[in-house]
Amino acid sequence: MTDHREFVENRFKIHEKDVVDSTNDELKRLISRLPETPEYTVIHAKRQEKGRGRRGKLWVSEEGNLYLSMLLRPNCLLSKASQINFVTSLALVDLCKDYGLSPKLKWPNDVLLDGQKVSGVLLESDADLKAHVNWLVVGVGLNVFDAPENMPYPTTSLSKMSGKTHDMNLLISNFLGYFDKRYLNWKEHGFNELREDWLKNSAHEKGKKVIVNADKRITGTFETLTENGALQIRSLTPGKELMTIHSGDTL
């Protein structure tokens, strides 16, 4: 297993908190107080009282799991910055593989172990009038010890799947190490390699049914991930036309 600790300590500035409402909100407050807060500032909390998921959902945040938010300044347009969803979920895939697990990715950025959700990513941003990103807050939740119950989808945890206990500090630095490697690669070479890696680790198979929760519910068969990170599906209607979906969740 790769140990990223020394590299990460030099690069990231991690603020440790016992409890916050949401690490994303805590980081956004820091940015509004100190607008020059540098890239690679991270808030890590042991517990969140108002953890937020995508599409306004709650993210159950008991002690024992990983909750962190990173500040990035990728110097690009908002449309491109959304690809950082894939940078992040692939870094989580790298991390899970360190424990001998076989993670799969559900569009856009859920990591699944044995078909059950183990992590989620919540991106929030601020941009200028020309849609150039001022800052990006990347929130990451990873079930390490606890798999929240009674969720609308099946969940699991790293410990449950690996049968091991995990040192939180080591997990954080290994995740940040993998993240940084993929982030720098994306900045230098673009989305292509990420797209290929995403497809290699995809939970979706070409031709298999996929249900998308976007503005409305759409059913089709999985076709591919486009070169911008959108989901392409083929409709089930007689015309079998291709549809490209830029935002939403797959069920």
State both tokens at 81: 């910055």
Q: Where are the beta strands (DSSP E) in the chain?
A: 13-20, 41-48, 66-72, 104-106, 110-113, 116-127, 133-142, 209-213, 217-225, 231-235, 242-245, 249-250
Per CB under 6 A, contacts with ligand BTN among 165-194 are none
Shortest-Cβ-distance residue relative to ligand BTN: 120
Find the binder of ligand BTN among 74, 103, 108, 120 (CB under 6 A): 120
Contact 153, 60 (CB under 8 A): no
Our CB check for ligand BTN shows the closer of 110 and 180 to be 110
Q: Is 93 in the site for ligand BTN (CB under 6 A)?
A: no
Binding mask 135-154 for ligand BTN (x = CB under 6 A): ----xxx-------------
* In the complex, least distance from residue 138 CB atom to ligand BTN, rounded to whole angstroms: 9
Alpha-carbon gap, residue 112 to 140, rounded angstroms: 14
Beta bridge partners of 141: 67, 120
Smallest separation, CB 65 to ligand BTN (Å): 8
Report the phi/psi class of residue 248: left, alpha or beta, with left for phi > 0 and alpha for psi in -120 to 50: left
CB nearer to ligand BTN: give 42 or 225.
42
Site string for ligand BTN, 33-72 (x = CB under 6 A): ---------------x--xxxx--x-x-------x-x---
What amino acid is encoded at 15 in this protein?
Answer: H
Binding ligand BTN by CB under 6 A: which of 4, 8, 12, 24? 24
Q: How does DSSP classify residue 202?
A: B
CB of 192 vs ligand BTN, minimal distance in Å = 25
Calculate the dihedral angle through the C-alpha atoms of 36, 39, 45, 51, rounding to the nearest 10 degrees.
Answer: 90
Least distance in angstroms from the C-beta of 16 to ligand BTN: 14
Q: Which long-range contacts (CB under 8 A, 24 or more apart) does 166-169 make?
A: 168/66, 168/144, 169/5
- Answer for the pair 26, 43: CB distance below 8 angstroms, yes or no: yes
Among 121, 133, 144, 161, binds ligand BTN (CB under 6 A): 121
Smallest gap from residue 36 Cβ to ligand BTN (A): 23
Examine residue 23 and tell whether it contacts ligand BTN (CB under 6 A): yes
CA 112 to chain centre: 12
Q: Is 204 in the site for ligand BTN (CB under 6 A)?
A: no
Q: Shortest Cβ distance from residue 179 to ligand BTN (Å)?
A: 14
Question: By the criterion CB under 6 A, which residues form the site for ligand BTN?
Answer: 22-24, 48, 51-54, 57, 59, 67, 69, 110, 120-122, 139-141
